[in-house]
Copies of this chain bind each other. A is one copy, B any other.
Amino acid sequence: MLTDGHASVLRLINQFGPLSRTELVRQLGISKASMSALASDLIDRGVLAEGEMVYGAGRPSVRLELSANSAFFIGVSLATVPFTLTLTDLRGGVLSTAELTQGATPEAIVEEIAAAIPGLFDGHPQALDRLAGIGLAVPGVVDAATGTCVRSTLLDWRDVPIGDLVAAATGLPAYVENDANALALGQHLFGSLRGCDQGTMIAVGDGIGCGHIINGELHRGARGGAGEIAHATVDPSGLPCQCGKRGCLDTLASVRSIAAAARAAGLDCGLAALDAAANRGERAAIDILHGAGAALGLAIAQIVQSLDPERMVIGMTDGPVTGLFARVVRQTVEANVMPDDHRRLDLTITRLENQAWAIGAASIAAGRGFFRV
């Protein structure tokens, strides 16, 4: 098994790209001797490989890089429609993907997952015997320690030991995480939060999800409920939400609620069409996008004030990432965080592909097995 020392080397190389032993020594504050042993050990296991040589004064240094082909992971997203599977390597590269016909019961879903796995290896036979684990992203509250989904409204689950079920059906170590958390971890390891130890990922799609990376680790909260900003109250006198409250962020800024507002105003309900209408100066479209963007921006500003993240990434599954909505989000954030701080917050608004959820799910397995995140 990998020790903590091994894992910290892998984390660093994953963050910064190939590094020489000496650079690792400086970063980790360990001795050259220990580093030498760790490196040869990781090379022997095939996890690291010697790559580019860097010439300067003195003996050239050898960059150590992650061998993408040393380990593979399967990610299962139950957060997307349809459910998706991916096969990824140690560097987060996607080898293949599959989609599931959406089963109704946990047992049916597990069966479908097991049935879909062999197909992932078509053309990638080398991945089969280096498959290290399977990660699941589940929409709902999850007990990551036991691999149980405590509650999922979307799936209509309650206390489903999905991790054990998948492990039993596939014979693989199975890891379970909340969908937004999986996404955040995926971005932390392989995406736009890479190298950021204090970061927040917000996914704006049909619903709104949020995961926090704190001190380089996923923050799950006392009972796995951290990041549930979709049901943070933004406007106490707002529209009723399916959660029972009023004016939740979800009723104001999710793609679903924006579309509903557009439909009610007699507009085309796609985000891109709405943005185009706003660009043409249509008042109703502008109002809708403005309201939604301001609500999200306010919620984000509150997170910034409370957590002081280094970077924040908003991933949008729909709509232009430079449109009115995104502009209003940015402006609202800047207007609502303490003047001295906002200049230093790195706020990125980007497109979120469906695949990102499954990559996030796979990254959980990679994180537990290799990077210790």
List A residues at the B interface (Cβ < 8 Å): 141, 151, 198, 210, 212, 214-215, 217, 219-229, 231-233, 236, 243-245, 294, 298-299, 301-303, 305-310, 335-341, 344
Contacts and interface: CB of A to CB of B under 8 A. Distances in A.
B245 A309 contact: no
A245 B335 contact: yes
23 contacts: A151-B340, A210-B306, A212-B306, A215-B215, A215-B217, A215-B219, A221-B307, A221-B308, A222-B310, A223-B310, A223-B344, A224-B308, A225-B341, A227-B306, A227-B308, A228-B305, A231-B338, A232-B305, A233-B336, A236-B298, A236-B336, A243-B339, A303-B306
A214 B222 contact: no
Given A214-B214, A215-B217, 17 more contacts: A198-B221, A198-B222, A222-B308, A222-B310, A224-B308, A226-B307, A228-B306, A228-B341, A229-B302, A231-B337, A232-B302, A232-B306, A233-B302, A236-B294, A243-B339, A245-B336, A306-B307
Nearest to A197: B222
Nearest to A299: B302
Contacts of A221: 198, 307-309
A105 B212 CA distance: 39
Contacts of A298: 233, 236
A232 B301 contact: yes
Contacts of A233: 298, 301-302, 336
Contacts of A151: 340
Contacts of A228: 305-306, 308, 338, 341
B338 A305 contact: no
A198 B220 CA distance: 10
Nearest to A150: B340
Contacts of A335: 245
Nearest to A302: B232
Contacts of A310: 222-223
A287 to B, nearest CB: 16
Contacts of A214: 214-215, 219
A219 B344 contact: no
A156 to B, nearest CB: 14
A340 B310 CA distance: 31
Chain B CB within 10 A, most for which of A212, A221, A233, A305: A305
Contacts of A226: 306-308
Contacts of A294: 236
A219 B339 contact: no
A305 B307 CA distance: 13
Given A236-B336, A336-B236, A307 B219 contact: yes
Contacts of A245: 335-336, 338-339
Contacts of A299: 302
A136 to B, nearest CB: 20
A233 to B, nearest CB: 4
Contacts of A336: 232-233, 236, 245
A80 to B, nearest CB: 22
Q: Which 8 A-B pairs have the closest CB atoms?
A: A221-B308, A222-B310, A225-B308, A226-B308, A198-B222, A233-B336, A232-B305, A232-B302
